[in-house]
Amino acid sequence: MTDSADYDPVCGMQVHDRRWVTTYRGREYVFCSEGCLALFRRDPALRLSHKGERARYDLVIVGGGPAGLTAAVYASLQHLHALLLARDLGGQAVDTSRIKNYMGYDLVTGPELLGRFRDQLLAQKYIEHRLDEVLSVARVADGFALQTRHGCRYEAPAVIIATGMHRRRLDVPGERRLLRRGVSYRLVHELERYQGQAVAVVGGGNSGIEAATALSRLGCRVTLISSGPLTGDAGDIARVEAAENTVVLTDHEVAAIEGEEQVNGLRVQPRGGGRERFLDVSAVFIEIGYLPNTDCVAPLVDRNRDGEIETGRDCSASIPGLFAAGDVTNGFGKRIIIAAGEGARAALAAGVFVRARQSGTASVQGPA
C-alpha cells in the first residue's frame, strides 16, 4: 500500500481499515466510508484533483467537534445537501481519557465517544465531509462564500460555525520551544513523574487553582502565579493558600520560560514592571483560559467581550443564514453534551432557513 493510498482522496482523512477500496488507472485507493467511495466513483478525475474546487451546497458546517459532527448528522437527516469542513474530526476532547458527564455513559474515553460521533457522521448519506481549514467566510449575493487553506471555494445560503476554542497562550520566550518538554496546557496524565519536584502553575482562575491543588497533593512544591488576585471558588482559594507546599504569587507575570532540552526555570516579574525573579522549576502548567476560534468569521458577526459569537435561541448569529453552535458561542456551559445539543439545534434552524429560501417564503430566523 502506498502512502497516498492511506489517505482518502475525497476527504483527506487517514484510513485505518480497508473496508472501502477501489482501483482506478491501475492504482488502489482506500476510503473512510461508503459515501466517499461513491463520490469518487462518480468522478475519479475530479476527486483526485479537488484542489481549487468550487461547489455549492445547501449548508456548509465548519468544525468537526461535537457541535459540528452533530450538526452534520442532523443536516443529513433533513436531507440537506451539506458539506462539513473541519481541520480534524473529534475536536478538543478527543484525547481525554475520562468523560464522566455524557448521558448514557458512566465513564467513557474521548476517543471512544468522539469515535462514535465520527462513525455516525461517516454513515450518513446526504453529507460530504472534507478535512480542510476555512480561512474566510464572506457574504455573497446568494448567501456565503467560504475560502479554504487547500484553495477551494464553497458557497451556500446557510453556514454553521462550530469551530470551538483553543487554549490561550502566554506568548513568552521559551513557551513554544519547550512545549511537552516541561510546558503543558493541562495536567498531563503521567503527573507522578513530577512528584516531589518544584513546579509552577500559571493562572489564578478555577483551572489554575485546581491544577495547583492536585500538584500539591502529589507532593510537588508549587508556585501558583496569577496576573491579578485569585478568582476561583472561595473554598478552593482558601485551600490552595493554606497548602504548606504552595506559594501564591498574585499580581505577577511570566517574562520567560527557560531551559535547553527541558524546562529548568521561569522568570517572573511584578505586573506593571519591577525586578525579575528566577524560579527554579522543572515544569510549567499554563491554565489561563480559552479563546474562541472566530478568525474566519470575525468581521461578519457580532461577538461579545470574550470574542464569542452572539447567538439567538435558534443558534442564529447576527446575519441571516449564519448560525453558530458549541464552545465558539456565547452560550453558557462549555461541555460536550451542550455543544452537541447546540449543533442539533443549529442544523434544525438552518434546515428551516434553507427550505424557506428554496420555497421563496420569508425566513423564520430571528434573535432571542
Ligand X SMILES: Cc1cc2nc3c(=O)[nH]c(=O)nc-3n(C[C@H](O)[C@H](O)[C@H](O)COP(=O)(O)OP(=O)(O)OC[C@H]3O[C@@H](n4cnc5c(N)ncnc54)[C@H](O)[C@@H]3O)c2cc1C
Cβ-proximal residues to 183 (8 Å cutoff; 6+ apart), any chain: 174, 175, 257, 263, 283, 284, 286
Give the one residue of 87, 150, 169, 239 binding ligand X; rule: CB under 6 A.
87
- Given a contact cutoff of 8 angstroms between Cβ atoms, the answer to whether 257 and 284 are in contact is yes
- Residue span binding ligand X (CB under 6 A) among the ranges 5-13, 259-267, 329-337, 350-358: 329-337
User: How far apart are the C-alpha atoms of 139 and 157, rounded to whole Å?
Assistant: 10
Of 221 and 334, which has the nearer Cβ to ligand X?
Answer: 334
Of 247 and 337, which has the nearer Cβ to ligand X?
Answer: 337
Report the chain's C-alpha Rg in angstroms.
23
User: How far apart are the C-alpha atoms of 206 and 231, rounded to whole Å?
Assistant: 7
Beta carbon of residue 59, minimum distance to ligand X (angstroms, whole number): 15
- Check binding of 296 to ligand X (CB under 6 A): yes
**How many Cβ atoms are within 10 Å of 264's Cβ, its own excluded?**
15
Site string for ligand X, 144-183 (x = CB under 6 A): ------------------xxxx------------------
- Check binding of 63 to ligand X (CB under 6 A): yes
Beta carbon of residue 172, minimum distance to ligand X (angstroms, whole number): 21
Give the one residue of 156, 339, 344, 347 binding ligand X; rule: CB under 6 A.
339
Beta carbon of residue 325, minimum distance to ligand X (angstroms, whole number): 7
Give the one residue of 31, 37, 60, 65 binding ligand X; rule: CB under 6 A.
65
How far is residue 330 CA from its own chain's centroid?
15
Which SS3 state, helix, strand or coil, does residue 238 take? helix
Q: Which among 79, 85, 175 has a CA at the least distance from the CA of 128?
A: 85
User: How far apart are the C-alpha atoms of 346 and 332, rounded to whole Å?
Assistant: 16
Cell readout for 1 is 500500500
Angle at the Cα of 31 (from 79 to 125), degrees rounded to 5? 10
Between the CA atoms of 43, 45, 46 and 50, what dihedral angle is there, to the nearest 10 degrees? 140
The number of residues that bind ligand X (CB under 6 A) is: 34
Q: Which string of b and e fits 94-117 if b means at least 16 CB within 10 Å?
A: bebeebeebeeeeebbbeebbeeb
Give the one residue of 59, 84, 134, 348 binding ligand X; rule: CB under 6 A.
134
- Residue span binding ligand X (CB under 6 A) among the ranges 26-34, 228-236, 250-258, 328-336: 328-336
Each as own residue / partner, the long-range contacts of residues 177-181 (CB below 8 Å, 24 or more positions apart, any chain) are: 178/257, 178/259, 178/262, 178/263, 178/284, 181/259, 181/261, 181/262, 181/263
Beta carbon of residue 268, minimum distance to ligand X (angstroms, whole number): 26
Contacts (CB under 6 A) with ligand X, residues 90-129: 91-93, 96, 99, 101
Of 143 and 265, which has the nearer Cβ to ligand X?
Answer: 143
Give the one residue of 75, 281, 336, 348 binding ligand X; rule: CB under 6 A.
336
Beta carbon of residue 102, minimum distance to ligand X (angstroms, whole number): 6
Give the one residue of 168, 239, 267, 335 binding ligand X; rule: CB under 6 A.
335
User: How far apart are the C-alpha atoms of 366 and 368, rounded to whole Å?
Assistant: 7
Beta carbon of residue 174, minimum distance to ligand X (angstroms, whole number): 23
Contacts (CB under 6 A) with ligand X, residues 30-49: none
Of 251 and 295, which has the nearer Cβ to ligand X?
Answer: 295
**Pairing relation of β-strands 277-279 and 265-270?**
antiparallel
Of 108 and 283, which has the nearer Cβ to ligand X?
Answer: 108
- Check binding of 311 to ligand X (CB under 6 A): no
Site for ligand X, rule CB under 6 A: 62-68, 85-88, 91-93, 96, 99, 101, 133-134, 162-165, 186, 293, 296, 326-328, 334-337, 339
